[in-house]
Chains A and B, each alone.
Chain A
Amino acid sequence: MTRTTPEKNFTLYGETFASRFLLGTALYTSPQIMRDAIVQSRCEIVTLGLRRQNPADRAGDVIWQFIQQSGCRLLPNTAGCKSVKEAVTLAEMSREIFNTDWIKLEVIGDDYNLQPDPFGLVEASNILIKKGFKVLPYCTDDLILCKRLVDVGCEVLMPWGAPIGTGQGLLNRYNLSTLRERIKDIPMIIDAGLGAPSQAAEAMEMGFDGILLNTAVAKAHNPPLMAEAFADAIDAGRKAYNAGLMQKRQTASPSTPTIGQPFWHQQ
């Protein structure tokens, strides 16, 4: 028997990837740290955004250069958009500038917890899919919302683990496991809220197909090392899911055979 090599069967909108880790490109202390984190993460998809900038401000140019050099597939976002119109316009700008019809759709409904607006999300997804976009919606773990997103044509779902940037992990395991149970044939990526590799591993063990995060890596003391830790955890979680976890039991059961136990003598 030989060691298993990473499976290349993570398919999103017809494109297949070996890595199930999608990494964000914001919040790093330097573009070089971001570049090294991308390498160590072994990711094949990175997220990025668009913002107003003064033409004289070239600070973002190095980040953009490193992202291009990474060879990763680009997944632009509509971060910060609070209305359907804003999100649709920013998606159209992204498609032109990045030459891709993939869009990580964010329609934010609340400033405090950056919770997705479910109604705006469905409406914007519907509009963008009709315009030819491949929409990857950042959504909550609400089953009905996710069903509606699938109904309008989303072929990938990206439910949150917790609010963006909180590092809280999987806050609602019941909702997430219900989602996975009820929507089996759509790739689902846990997007946002994870703070530790163990949380990513748990999500993968639950049967989620991938992990998207940014802050947990970018804000680590050593982002490239943390990126590698997440990559390893995601691989481990996926292998565990494929291998099949044992059933939990209430009572102890010895793993070493009891037959032939020395020093046992019938009284």
Chain B
Amino acid sequence: MITISLNNETKEIAANTLLSDALVQWGFGETKIAVAINGEFVPRSTYNLRAIVADDQIDIVKPVGGG
């Protein structure tokens, strides 16, 4: 297992888990989201290519009202 940060909370996940699989594990499978890892945007088309590594800082965002 490796430790990562998900939306500023510490989480553990199996090493080399693909981002696409991790999103399903974390319950984001069906929701409208966008992802950045370590401050870099990760396009949806690459979710199944990006393996999560230790200390990754993952931000997952959803639409909210805004001004």
Contacts and interface: CB of A to CB of B under 8 A. Distances in A.
Given A52-B60, A56-B27, A85 B39 contact: yes
A136 interface: no
B39 A52 contact: no
Interface string B7-26: 11000000000000000001
B66 A53 contact: no
B64 A55 contact: no
A93 B62 contact: no
Interface stretch (A42-50, A115-123, A238-246): A42-50
B39 A86 contact: yes
A76 interface: yes
B61 A64 contact: no
Nearest to A78: B66
B27 A93 contact: no
A251 B56 CA distance: 72
Contact of A60 (B26, B36, B40, B62): B62
A25 B67 CA distance: 6
A60 B43 contact: no
A19 interface: no
Contacts of A26: 64-67
A113 B41 CA distance: 29
A86 B61 CA distance: 13
B2 interface: no
Given A89-B36, A89-B39, A93-B34, A55 B27 contact: yes
Contacts of A94: 34
A79 interface: yes
A164 interface: yes
A249 to B, nearest CB: 40
B39 A63 contact: no
Nearest to B29: A55
A215 B67 contact: yes
Given A53-B61, A55-B27, A97-B34, A48 B40 contact: no
Interface in A37-86: 47-56, 60, 63-64, 67, 76-77, 79, 85-86
Interface of A: 24-28, 34, 47-56, 60, 63-64, 67, 76-77, 79, 85-86, 89-90, 92-94, 96-98, 164, 192, 213-215
15 contacts: A24-B65, A27-B67, A50-B63, A52-B60, A53-B60, A55-B28, A63-B63, A64-B64, A76-B66, A79-B67, A89-B41, A96-B34, A96-B44, A192-B67, A215-B67
